[in-house]
């Protein structure tokens, strides 16, 4: 087999791999970076869980979700830091559901569901 044929087959292999692996990679990246959270993910987070374990599900806080519930959320536990995520769960009427996770001394001490005002988010 000539060198040109080997190069052509190698290139064809790369293209086939891209079409087979590429869509899966895109779905995984979107799932990881998606700011919304499923009700199942919310339920799986347990009070008393170490922050590092809980953060695997909760991931980074969504600033838009935090702003959407500002002034509407219940008080935070004293000395806690909270993370906010929009829910993917459909909500009746206007507004959206935001999940709030509060951490203190390295563990999850509170998780709440807060509804945004109509027209927010």
pLDDT value, residue 42:
93
Q: Quick one: pLDDT band at residue 31, thresholds 50, 70, 90?
A: very low
pLDDT value, residue 120:
53
Statement to judge: residues 91 and 114 lie in one domain: yes
pLDDT at 24 over 80: no
Statement to judge: residues 100 and 70 lie in one domain: yes
Q: What whole-number percentage of the chain has pLDDT above 90?
A: 46
Q: List pLDDT tens digits, range 34-93.
A: 568 899 999 999 999 999 998 888 888 899 999 999 998 999 999 999 999 999 987 777
Instruction: Using a cut of 0.75, tell me whether the model's pTM lies above it.
Output: no
Statement to judge: residues 7 and 46 lie in one domain: no
Statement to judge: residues 29 and 56 lie in one domain: no
pLDDT at 25 over 60: no
Structural domains of the chain, count: 2
pLDDT value, residue 35:
62
Q: What is the DSSP code (8-state) at residue 38?
A: -
CATH number for the domain including 70?
Answer: 3.30.1450.10
β-strand 36-37 against 81-87: which pairing, if any?
parallel
User: 99: helix, coil or strand?
Assistant: strand
Statement to judge: residues 7 and 45 lie in one domain: no
- Identify the domain containing residue 4 by its residue range: 1-33
Statement to judge: residues 62 and 108 lie in one domain: yes
């Amino acid at each position: 087999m000539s060198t040109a044929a080997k190069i052509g087959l190698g290139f064809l292999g790369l293209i086939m791999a891209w079409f087979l692996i590429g869509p899966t990679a895109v779905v995984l990246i979107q799932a990881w970076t998606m700011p919304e959270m499923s009700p199942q993910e919310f339920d799986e987070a347990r009070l008393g869980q170490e922050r590092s374990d809980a953060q695997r599900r909760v991931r980074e806080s969504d600033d838009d979700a935090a702003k959407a519930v500002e002034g509407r959320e219940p008080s935070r536990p004293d000395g806690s830091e909270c993370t906010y995520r929009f829910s993917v769960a459909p909500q009746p009427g206007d507004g959206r559901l935001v999940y709030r996770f509060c951490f203190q001394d390295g563990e999850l001490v509170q998780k709440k569901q807060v509804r945004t005002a109509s027209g927010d988010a």
